[in-house]
Amino acid sequence: MARSGQEPECEPIDIASHATQAWSPVSTPAASLVVETEQTISADPGQLLRLLENLFRNAVEHGGNNVTVRLGSTADGFYVADDGAGIPVEHRESVFEERTTFDAGGTGYGLAIVSDIADAHGWSVSVTESESGGARFDISGVTVVDTATAEP
């Protein structure tokens, strides 16, 4: 990450398999992950894993007991959306700042980490309302790799 001085070492990554791996430590019996993309992107494997895990953890911790988290693709990146309570409009700009939390049990670091990893890769991250009323985090500026031409 940029803060630690570690530059991303990017390589072609199957985002679906990384999502499954990132979901493992945050999943709960009532929460579910739906992967709606088969993208291969250029990213640092460890940093992408950490970014996804923090987005998934945010959804599970703030989305309610039966939250469904979706990972999908966009023209220049991907998104993570949930069907939880969402983030009020007035808080959307500040959620990426360190120590910003609107939950008594939160640390305020998860989404700051997401922002730092995105910045280190040259990506942008934004939050809006998902189609189901929860939170949607869009990661844009991502290099989408054509798997047919990707180097091994």
**Nearest-angstrom CA–CA distance, 152 and 149:** 9
For 121-149, b/e burial (b = at least 16 CB within 10 A) is bebebebeebeeebbbbbbeebebbeeee
Q: What is the pLDDT of residue 84?
A: 86
DSSP symbol at 91: G
> Does residue 90 surpass a pLDDT of 90?
no
Q: Tell which wins on pLDDT, 141 or 150.
A: 141
Contact (Cβ atoms closer than 8 angstroms) between residue 52 and residue 13: no
Domain formed by 11-145, architecture: 2-Layer Sandwich (3.30)
> Does residue 5 surpass a pLDDT of 70?
no
- Predicted TM-score (pTM) of the model is 0.83
Q: Encode pLDDT of 42-60 as tens digits.
A: 999 999 999 999 999 988 8
Ranges of each domain in the chain:
11-145
Q: Which helix (H) or strand (E) holds 78?
A: strand 77-82
**Nearest-angstrom CA–CA distance, 43 and 95:** 23
Q: Which helix (H) or strand (E) holds 16?
A: helix 15-23
Q: Which helix (H) or strand (E) holds 126?
A: strand 124-129
* Average pLDDT in the chain: 83
Mean per-residue pLDDT, 107-127: 84
> Does residue 149 surpass a pLDDT of 80?
no
Looking up tokens 């993208």, which residue turns up?
39
Q: What is the pLDDT of residue 65?
A: 77
**Nearest-angstrom CA–CA distance, 97 and 95:** 6
Q: Tell which wins on pLDDT, 87 or 131.
A: 131
**Nearest-angstrom CA–CA distance, 101 and 81:** 19
**Nearest-angstrom CA–CA distance, 4 and 152:** 28
